[in-house]
Amino acid sequence: MRGTWWRRALVAFAFGWLVAGCGMGRPPEERFEADGEPYLLVWAGDDDRQQSDFLAVIDASWESRTYGKVLRTIPVRSAGNEPQDLNGEMRADRRVFATGILSGRTFVFDLRDPMKGGLVATDDPKGGRALAAPRGVVTLPGGRTAVMCADRAGYRGEPREVLGSPGGLRVLGADGRFVRDVVPAGPRSFIVAPAGGAVRPNMNLLVTTNQAHGFAPTSQGPLMPGITVQVWSLPDLALKSTPVLEAGPRGEENLGPLMPRWFRDRPFVLVNTHEGGALYASDSTTLPNPVFRLVHDFGAGSRPVGAAITPDDRFYVTALAGANRVVALDLRDPWKPRVASEVDFARAPGGGPRRTGGPSGLAMSVDGRRVAVTSYTMAVPAFALDGDRRVYMLRLDRTSGALRVDQAFRDEQTDAVGVDFGRTTWPHGASGPARPHGVLFVAP
């Protein structure tokens, strides 16, 4: 009798341990999830450009009772920067680099402790700098940072400038101090306007994209889109090649290459095109003349922006600012990706009226199960695309690729889904509504 009791107790204990360990009772994609990145950073600009822009630290711990709360804000003591991007992955030194496209500034934050860290440096370009309109940010081997700058300083958009005034790369030290501006040399037949970048350390390669000229505050007229990407060798940042993206059936799919993303287990890179609304791929970046092939068409006017690939290289997720959607593509055959799922942002999650604008900034958690999205793009003289100015959290099922809006990630003031940056008061003061863009998951 006593032996039977012990056997039953042992079975009950084992079953309870199994349930707890597997996370039964939660949605399937949340089982085994480690809450290793409990903070979300959002780089935001003051709406009327009169108050300081700031970096917001949001509670992203899905087990927290304050999930979605703005825990603190870090003002940068300057306004009108038009915040753009943050470094795509957390650096080993826990520093975060943030670009301001209109001011030309790059801000550096020390976030070894996200709840106590702050602004430690500002690169403020003065007269004599070659480049303007800083956008994407990548970390180079050794700790330096490369900032993609779309235009030459003083760019206006005159015909002679379109090919004759290339943008380039701004190199900053790990401490944020200016090192040099790198402008590709030689004759030019194409627009050179770096916007996004992706580093492959084990291959000593950097891939950058040439979206368009016209982001400098001095620009007049419309954006002038490019059709090329560039491959650089590391650590010397020598230009190796400038592959041209060929147009597809619509004749415009190659316009405005924006966001490059490497696979992790092989030398394969994907590049979306903002003006072209498409996706290109290459496995030949090490060759003297790499070839990029059109592999997916999101549609005219879809305007792909932020993008990420899951850690197992199975799914590609991108925000379509023009189509008001976030799409997940199945990459089992990367030459023929297929749509696995999508989230429609034209209607507010949980119901409500249809809305304009769309998702733009995007970051994926390290485990690939969460995707943070900001609904605002930018407002510069040559281009503007607004959104509802919220930050949403999406869940990604890494087995099926199904995306869904995380209904638990809510604004602490209104209890609506998504963190509303239209509020009037922030931890740093009553500075009014803001425009969120760059986003990054971080751990303490």
- Does pLDDT of 356 surpass 60? yes
- Does pLDDT of 357 surpass 80? no
Domains and CATH numbers, the chain: 37-442 (2.130.10.10)
| Lowest model confidence (mean pLDDT) among 99-113, 324-338, 348-362 | 348-362
130-145 pLDDT, tens digit each = 999 999 999 999 999 9
Mean pLDDT to the nearest integer, 420-440: 97
Mean pLDDT to the nearest integer, 212-235: 95
Q: What's the CA gap between 245 and 267, in Å, rounded? A: 18
Question: Which SS3 state, helix, strand or coil, does residue 231 take?
Answer: strand
pTM reported for the whole predicted model: 0.91
Of 135, 68, 92, give the one whose Cα is nearest residue 408. Answer: 68
Q: Please, which pLDDT band fits residue 19 given cuts at 50, 70 and 90?
A: very low
- Does pLDDT of 261 surpass 50? yes
Which pair of structure tokens corresponds to residue 129? 């700098």
Here the contacts of 294-301 (C-beta below 8 Å, separation 24 or greater) are 294/245, 294/246, 294/248, 294/253, 294/254, 295/270, 295/334, 295/335, 295/336, 295/337, 296/329, 296/337, 297/248, 297/250, 297/253, 298/272, 298/323, 298/327, 299/323, 300/250, 300/252, 301/277
Which pair of structure tokens corresponds to residue 17? 């341990």
Strands (E) in 76-202, as ranges, are 83-86, 95-100, 106-110, 118-123, 131-139, 145-152, 168-172, 178-182, 194-200
Please report the pLDDT score of residue 299 as a whole number.
97
144-200 pLDDT, tens digit each = 999 999 999 999 999 999 999 999 999 999 999 999 999 987 667 899 999 999 999
Q: Please, which pLDDT band fits residue 349 given cuts at 50, 70 and 90?
A: low
